[in-house]
Amino acid sequence: MNEQEQAEVAAEAPQQEPVQIVAFFCNWCTYAAADLAGSSRLPQAGVVRVVRVPCSGRIRPELILAAFHRGADGVLVSGCHPGDCHYAQGNYFARRRLAMTADLLETMGIDPRRLRFEWCSAAEGSKVAQVINEMAEDVREWKRESRRGRRD
């Protein structure tokens, strides 16, 4: 395919709305899975800023609120599967905190669809790529709805 044909294909392709997602990934599982997804060159939305944390249990509601305050369209938190946490119970703490944080966001008028929590092991690179792509599309849909005045 020559340069002119490539330019025509690019012009015909629908432009996706840019979104900004902040992802808090557990060092031991999800961060390793994201690394696997990248090194395997799995297609994923290039809209994620990854913050590497020792454990998903370290994610406090203030961090999530700060991400939204600084302009994130969505926040993704991911850690080890239940029972596989390197810090014994960190992911159970994270699950409880994030449920409470989702309620807090709704009380504050922030659509809870903008926050997502997933379990991902180090071997699940394809799942990390899938979750990122799904979340990017969900956030794009939220942005379209909010422009139409239906949601926050």
Chain segment 70-125, per-residue pLDDT in tens: 999 999 999 999 989 989 899 999 999 999 999 999 999 999 889 999 999 999 99
pLDDT for res 47: 86
Tokens representing residue 106 in the block: 């709704």
Please name which of 143, 102, 104, 131 lies closest in space to residue 42, comparing C-alpha atoms.
131
Residue 152: pLDDT over 90: no
- Residue 91 class from Cβ within 10 Å (0-12 exposed, 13-18 middle, 19+ buried)? buried
Verdict on whether the full-model pTM lies above 0.95: no
Tell me the fold of 18-147.
Answer: Rossmann fold (3.40.50)
CB of 50 closer than 8 Å to CB of 23: yes
Angle at 139 between CA 121 and CA 49, to 5 degrees: 55
> What is the model's pLDDT at position 15?
59
